[in-house]
Amino acid sequence: MFACIHAPGNLPLAIECARGFSPWIEENPPDAVIFDVRGLESLYGPPPALAREIERRVGVPASIAIAANPDAAMHAALGLRGVTVIEKGREAEALAPLPVNLLRASPETAELLHLWGIRTFGEFAALPPLGVAARLGEEGMHLQRLAQGDGYRQLQPIVDPLEFEDEMELDDRSLNNYTF
């Protein structure tokens, strides 16, 4: 399970909130963060309860989504207001009304979809896969899987910069040799 917080203009607060739930956080500029919430049910209850807790902690207006894969969670948070919990296997249904521009296609692919009259995830997902592959290639096949809610990838977590500190421990005996 993955959660996404979409907090327009408040990415630092969204990241801070996500850190309270998981060490595996992916920044998705300009204003979304995706994080791994697997295993948190024992602490927060079922996904709807977890989503409410995330909403309570974020502290700013935000859309929150929980789904079985990071891309479905991200698209739901970007395209649906409020709190959304998508049950595993119902991703395509939940994402169907979203505008196809959320897929972040290349300009050429976006133009073709526009010319074909494809406006929503559902319309794109319903196209024959072989036709999409023949006309849009690998990018089209990938985008169609995302529109169907089938995307799965590993998070690209934020890597905090390493900080080095120098420390020296003095022995009490060495202090006895000095007069102050």
The pTM of the full predicted model, rounded to 2 decimals, is: 0.82
Domains of the chain (ranges, CATH numbers): 1-94 (3.30.70.270), 96-151 (1.10.150.20)
- Residue 30: asked if its preceding bond is cis (omega within 30°), the reply is yes
Residue-wise pLDDT tens digits, 87-138:
999 999 999 999 999 999 999 999 999 999 999 999 999 999 999 999 999 9
Residue with tokens 């420390």: 167
How high does pLDDT run on average in the chain? 89
Non-local CB neighbours of 7 within 8 Å, separated by 6+ positions: 13, 14, 31, 32, 58, 60, 61, 62, 63
Give the integer Cα–Cα distance in Å for 109 and 2: 28
Please state whether beta strands 83-85 and 32-36 pair in parallel, antiparallel, or not at all (unpaired): unpaired
